[in-house]
Every structure is written in C-alpha cells, then in structure tokens.
Amino acid sequence: MKEMRPVVDFTDDYPLFTHEMKADYTILVPDMLPWHFDLLTHVMRGEGYHVEVLHNEGRAVIDEGLKHVHNDTCFPALCVIGQYLDALKSGKYDVRKTAVLITQTGGGCRASNYLPLIRKALKAEFPEVPVISLNFSGLEKKSGLELNLKFIKKLAYSIFYGDLIMTCFNQTKPYEVHDGDSAAARADCLAEIERALDGKTYSRLKQHTGRILERFARIPVRKEPKVKVGIVGEIYVKYSPLGNSHLEEFLLAEGCEPVVPALMDFILYCVINNVNDAKFYGKRSAMTPIFAFVYRWLYRKQRAMIGMMKAQGRYEPLHDFEHLRACADRVINQGVKMGEGWLIPAEMAALTESGTENIVCAQPFGCLPNHIAGKGAMRVVKSLYPSANIVPVDYDPSATRVNQENRIKLMLATARENLKEQG
C-alpha cells in the first residue's frame, strides 16, 4: 500500500508552515545563540511550538552546506543550511512533520537571501519541509507563526536576561575557585527565568536582574588579573560556536576573559536604523513612529539593568546603547547600516574605553559590508584609541581552526605583554 503523504500548502512551488502544523511539527533552529536560545525556545514551547536547537557540527555539516551554497556566498548561510540538511538526513526526525526556522533582519546584505537559499537546498533533498522566517521587517509575510504582543514581549525579556547571564558567566568563569560553579549558577538562573516566563513575573526586570547578579556574586573567585578579549563582528560568527570555531571556549582555555557585547545591542541597532532611515534617507513611513516607540521602550529596560549592575558593583555593566551611538559617531556615520555596519566600530571603541583593549573582529570571508565597517574602520579606531589591540579573523569553509587560533594567539602574546607592563 502506498504511503500517505501529509497535505502541505504550497506557494510558488515551496511548502508553507501553517497554523495547523503547530501541534505536531518539530521546528529545527540553527545553533546561533548558545546563551539566548535556551530562553527563546522556552518561550516558543510555551506558545505550543515544538522547537529543537541543533547542535550537530563537524566537517559533515560544512560539506552538506557546500553542496548547495557556493563558498563565496556567505559562510553563515553555508553553516545554517549544512546543519539543517545534516540533521534531516540523520534519521532522527520525521521529515514529513519537520520545519526549519531562520531569523532575518531584512537588511541590505546577503543574509536577506537566506530564505531562497534554504528553500533551494531543501527543494533538492527535502521538498516537503517548510521554512519559517522569524522577522519583523515584512520580509516574509506568511511565516505561519502567531506573533502577538505578549509573545514578542517575552522574547524581548528573554534577550535581556540572556545577555545578563552571559555577561555574569564570562566575568566569573575565568576566576572561579571551584570548577563548575559558574555553570551551576547559569543553570539556576535559566531555571528561574523559565519559571518566570511560564507565569506572569517575567516582566519584573529589576527583581530577576537582582537575583541573577546575587547568584553569580556568591561564587568564590580568585583576585588575579586576566587578559580581557572582546568579540565583535558579523552577528552569526560573533555568537555561534559552529561559525566561530568555539571562540569563547578557546579564549577561556587560554586563560582569558571573553567579553561578548549584548545581543540586545544588535536588536536596538536594527530598530534605530529604521528610525534613522527617515533622518538620513527621507524614508519615513507609518512604521517610523512605532519603531521609535519600541526603541524607547527597549532602551529604558536596558538602562534599568545597567543601573542595577552599577549599583551592585561586582560586574562591568553592559554597554549603554546611546553611548554606543556616540562612539560610532566618532568613527563612522550611522547611515552606514549594511550588515552590522556602524555597530562594529562602535563596539570596538566602547570595549576599549571600558578596559577591554584586546579585540577579535570575527568576519565571514567575503562579507563585504562587515569588512568595510569592521576591518575598514580599524585604522580610525586605533588612531582614536592607540592602546587598542585588534585582530581581524576570517571564518569560511577553507579556513582551518589552527590558523584562526594562531592569529588570535599572536594578539594574545601582545596582550599578555601589555598586562605584565601594567601590573
């Protein structure tokens, strides 16, 4: 007897994810945000979605991506598509009841083409698997996700808490007296925030911020100087262990303190760019005042969290986004918004000002907007901040992890000499 196939809605020859699929479809998410996806996917599960973050990696994943994405296209796209295909071929999932999800900003770089690239790859091997686009730019109007205000607010609070947990962990882990204390604190904080997201207390930002700070502050630490290394660059390779060859783990193994800017800074960057479109390019629309309102709301929350970190005194606070904008203005115009645009030099300047003078600028090879705003702005940043010790590192399928780490080790050698002179 012939196997019955599910009825799938197709538009323009590709399947759509519909509300009816929510109950019994598994949604696969690429491993892009290891510090935030625990909370973000928890929110989605609370809305009734069956979500699973992929952690498969290795050469097999890269090779799967290379079968469908030219290596000059975009390394993050190659990694994402490779993870999808490798997972779908693993036999772990019923491909007739599986969808994949990608987040998109709708910016003017190749990342906005991920959707057709993913659909082309899936059409060749798994034509029944729908692609869901999570975006707020109108890039894909039929995502199948039921986005209401409460859902969106929970996602925003999850990012704030994820940023705080990431920051406290990275400022504690290199100094912990007892191995594993920081990981235990992270697990405790995630559990508390997940409980809050399940109820109604998730919006009590000061309450949960205070508890997270207090939980990490209880960990016994050694009072010893460490080389602090900031990580900036393209959004995927900045955060994804697959994309940046486990950069944070490497820096910890080298005895350094990784300093990773907040994901909310990127969210605020995307929001304010929509406001700036009216200022710089005359592109005012009915959405402009809405983006301005969202920016003010998010920035107010960020300021509250920064204020609590300053009052507690144990941890270096997150960057104030308005200060980031001021830093950008010293280097490059805020109208330069392709890719991560002005945010990269702004973060390099802010990191240097706050004592993190050693910086890895992580870029996908051939990522034009980020090479211009990253590598291209380094000379100006160094002229403004002579102590800045910045190394650009390219990530692509032909780059070996050894070569990437050797470039970083050369930067660390200078950093250790500088630390010794300061001590």
Domains of the chain, residue spans: 10-146, 226-261+319-422
Is the confidence at residue 109, as pLDDT, over 70?
A: no
State how far the Cα of 407 lies from the Cα of 405, in Å rounded to an integer. 5
* DSSP calls for 314-358: SSPPPPPHHHHHHHHHHHS-TT--STTTTHHHHHHHHHHHTT--E
Is the confidence at residue 382, as pLDDT, over 80?
A: yes
State how far the Cα of 311 lies from the Cα of 313, in Å rounded to an integer. 5
Could you tell me whether strands 227-233 and 50-53 are parallel, antiparallel, or unpaired per DSSP bridges? unpaired
**Predicted pLDDT of residue 121:** 93
**Predicted pLDDT of residue 8:** 43
Tokens read off for 222: 């050694």
Per-range mean pLDDT, top range of 19-23, 212-216, 286-290, 395-399:
212-216
Mean pLDDT in residue range 253-267? 97
**Predicted pLDDT of residue 1:** 35
Selection from 279, 253, 283, 181 nearest residue 412 by Cα: 253
**Predicted pLDDT of residue 136:** 63
pLDDT in tens, 310-347: 999 999 999 999 999 999 999 999 999 888 999 999 99
**Predicted pLDDT of residue 143:** 66
Whether the Cβ atoms of residue 17 and residue 143 lie closer than 8 Å to each other: yes
State how far the Cα of 357 lies from the Cα of 415, in Å rounded to an integer. 8
- We find that the CATH architecture of domain 226-261+319-422 is 3-Layer(aba) Sandwich (3.40)
By percentage, how much of the chain surpasses pLDDT 70? 93
Is the confidence at residue 192, as pLDDT, over 90?
A: yes
Higher pLDDT, 109 or 361: 361
pLDDT in tens, 56-70: 999 999 999 999 888
Q: Tell me the helices (H) and strands (E) count for the chain, helix number first.
A: 16, 10
**Predicted pLDDT of residue 116:** 85
Neighbour tally for 5: CB within 10 Å: 8
Is the confidence at residue 26, as pLDDT, over 90?
A: yes
Is the confidence at residue 5, as pLDDT, over 70?
A: no
**Predicted pLDDT of residue 72:** 75
State how far the Cα of 151 lies from the Cα of 147, in Å rounded to an integer. 6
Q: Read off the pLDDT band of 134 (50, 70, 90).
A: confident
State the DSSP H helix or E strand holding residue 12, giving kind and residue range, or none if neither: none
Q: Read off the pLDDT band of 12 (50, 70, 90).
A: low
Backbone angles phi, psi at 380, to 5 degrees: -65, -40
Mean pLDDT in residue range 262-273? 96
Statement: the pTM of the whole predicted model exceeds 0.85: yes
State how far the Cα of 83 lies from the Cα of 331, in Å rounded to an integer. 37
Is the confidence at residue 2, as pLDDT, over 70?
A: no
Burial class (CB within 10 angstroms; exposed 0-12, middle 13-18, buried 19+) of 56:
middle
Q: Which residues is 52 bridged to in the sheet?
A: 28
Is the confidence at residue 166, as pLDDT, over 50?
A: yes
**Predicted pLDDT of residue 360:** 97
State how far the Cα of 178 lies from the Cα of 183, in Å rounded to an integer. 11
Is the confidence at residue 3, as pLDDT, over 60?
A: no
By percentage, how much of the chain surpasses pLDDT 90? 75
Is the confidence at residue 135, as pLDDT, over 80?
A: no
**Predicted pLDDT of residue 10:** 45
**Predicted pLDDT of residue 114:** 80
* DSSP calls for 168-226: HHHHHGGGBSSTTHHHHHHHHHHHHHHHHHHTT-TT-HHHHHHHHHHHHHTS-B-----
Burial class (CB within 10 angstroms; exposed 0-12, middle 13-18, buried 19+) of 23:
exposed
Min mean pLDDT across 16-20, 78-82, 195-199 is at: 16-20
**Predicted pLDDT of residue 9:** 47
State how far the Cα of 357 lies from the Cα of 381, in Å rounded to an integer. 11
Mean pLDDT in residue range 255-263? 97
Could you tell me whether strands 227-233 and 98-103 are parallel, antiparallel, or unpaired per DSSP bridges? unpaired
Fold match flag (10-146 vs 226-261+319-422): yes
Selection from 250, 266, 190, 239 nearest residue 32 by Cα: 239
CATH number 3.30.300 is the correct assignment for the domain at 10-146 = no
Neighbour tally for 199: CB within 10 Å: 7
Q: Read off the pLDDT band of 111 (50, 70, 90).
A: low
Q: Read off the pLDDT band of 39 (50, 70, 90).
A: very high
Mean pLDDT in residue range 102-113? 69
Mean pLDDT in residue range 137-153? 76
Higher pLDDT, 55 or 146: 55
Q: Return the residue matching tokens 């986005």.
A: 147
**Predicted pLDDT of residue 4:** 36
Whether the Cβ atoms of residue 132 and residue 143 lie closer than 8 Å to each other: yes
Write down the mean pLDDT value for the chain: 91
* DSSP calls for 229-285: EEEEESHHHHH-TTTTTSHHHHHHHTTEEEE---HHHHHHHHHHHHHHHHHHH----
Q: Read off the pLDDT band of 139 (50, 70, 90).
A: low
Q: What angle do CA 80, 86, 90 make, to 5 degrees?
A: 145
Is the confidence at residue 142, as pLDDT, over 70?
A: no
